[in-house]
Amino acid sequence: MESYYLDWANLLLRWVHVITAIAWIGSSFYFVFLDSSLTPPLDEDLKRQGVSGELWAVHGGGFYHPVKFNVAPPKLPAHLHWFYWESYSTWLSGFSLFTVSYLWNASTYLIDKSRMDWAPATAIAVTLSFLVLFWLLYDLICRVFGPRKHGDAIVGALVFTLVCIASWLACHWFAGRAAFLLVGAMMATAMSANVFFWIIPGQKKVVAALKAGAPVEAIHGQRGKQRSVHNTYFTLPVLFTMLSGHYSLTYSQPLNWLVLMAMMFAGAAIRQFFVMRHGYKLGRNGNPLPYALLGLAAVLAVIVWLRPVQPSGTANIATNSVASGAYPAGAEGLISYKSLQVVLAQRCYMCHGALVQMKTVRLDSAQNVKRHAQNIYQQAVVTKVMPMNNATGISEVERQVIKQWFEAGAKTD
């Protein structure tokens, strides 16, 4: 029953998280596009008001004319929309989802004993420390090196190095899927913290100064812009980590941290293409195409690197085990249902048997095995995500038993 309610909590939190993330990322993408697409105003009245850029756009049957003031409009409007709840709601829903999906069942989803055999409480504490320490170190880098000459390049190199170190540690300490998601959550925490600690407070100080008729300190706008740009480049890498959990081919590799870094680098390069694209059309930037090609090259390199290769001598490994008497043979020497039952009993019944039915799947009867045959093959042979983190120690021989049983027709009689 607990599993049933956790599934509902997972579904609803995921739904909220996706909705709020769309709102946050969508507004971020829009304002980056807007900044890149603004042109100097032609209307003299707009110039007198202090407008530094304008854009004419058409959408949904109407024409829109957003303008950007160099500092502030001559008179502040009574109502200003502040873009921060999109960020906060995304982080809160994401952390809640991470808690339900991984921290609540840390021994199953977070811990891989072949990597680190630690207590659930320890694993949870280390996980949370990733979120806090990354933000503190990232923030320190920005404050120390950001104001210096060539500060953006220095900060970019140091933050990239920091992400590499964190990715290496996460992938060596936690289960692959959890490690990828943890790195994404770590970066997303920094993104939301940028909004909470720097962007919004800076904007509030600017508004307060304008209302009081005091001079506006340019540093607030500079800091806010810097952190906003960082958030832009974090976006696609974070989205990759959020989606990677559905594709074990990425996180189940021995060098999964390199896969993670390569794909996040590709995401950042592709994001740079889109950032530069609109300015390029207006003659402000160089050709952004090389960044897109660099990102695509990184993705293609990973695809080629991870392509499946049939190890020599394993094609009939299960058949040889049958011949040696390790598993009962069927009528024609094929893998029989009795052979499959031996594997399922040792590796699957503890989570999908009479006492526990994770995801409402039960595999201790021929009828249920027949019904779930495709999923058994997909999860245990193709993606190898089951047993979860190989907690029951299934061997390659046993996976081949499942494979040859399924490919022979998945018979249960």
Is 333 within a domain? yes
Is 78 within a domain? no
Structurally, how many domains does the chain consist of? Answer: 2
Residues 129 and 192 in one domain: yes
Take residue 302 and report the two structure tokens written for it. 């990973």
From 305, 330, 364, give the residue that closes a domain. 305
Q: Is the pLDDT of residue 129 over 70?
A: yes
Residues 228 and 98 in one domain: yes
Identify which of 79, 201, 140, 174 has the alpha carbon closest to the alpha carbon of residue 389. Answer: 174
Residues 355 and 298 in one domain: no
Q: How many angstroms separate the CA atoms of 105 and 118, rounded?
A: 14
Residues 340 and 398 in one domain: yes
**Residue 268 contacts by C-beta under 8 Å, 6 or more apart in sequence?**
233, 236, 237, 295
Q: Is the pLDDT of residue 331 over 60?
A: no
What is the average pLDDT value for the chain, to the nearest integer?
Answer: 87
From 305, 333, 352, give the residue that closes a domain. 305
Among 40-49, 263-272, 364-373, the minimum mean pLDDT is found in 364-373
Is 240 within a domain? yes
Q: How many angstroms separate the CA atoms of 181 and 17, rounded?
A: 14
pLDDT digits (tens, 9 = 90+) for 397-408: 888 888 888 888
pLDDT digits (tens, 9 = 90+) for 18-62: 999 999 999 999 998 998 889 999 999 999 999 999 999 999 999
Q: Which is more confident, 311 or 268?
A: 268
Q: Is the pLDDT of residue 309 over 70?
A: no
Q: Name the phi and psi angles at 178, rounded to 5.
A: -65, -35
- Over range 163-188, report the average pLDDT: 95
What are the angstrom distances between the C-alpha of 408 and each of 131, 136, 333?
A: 48, 56, 11
Q: Residue 319: its pLDDT value, please? A: 57
Domain of residue 342: give its range.
317-407
Residues 294 and 355 in one domain: no
Is 55 within a domain? no
Residues 221 and 164 in one domain: yes
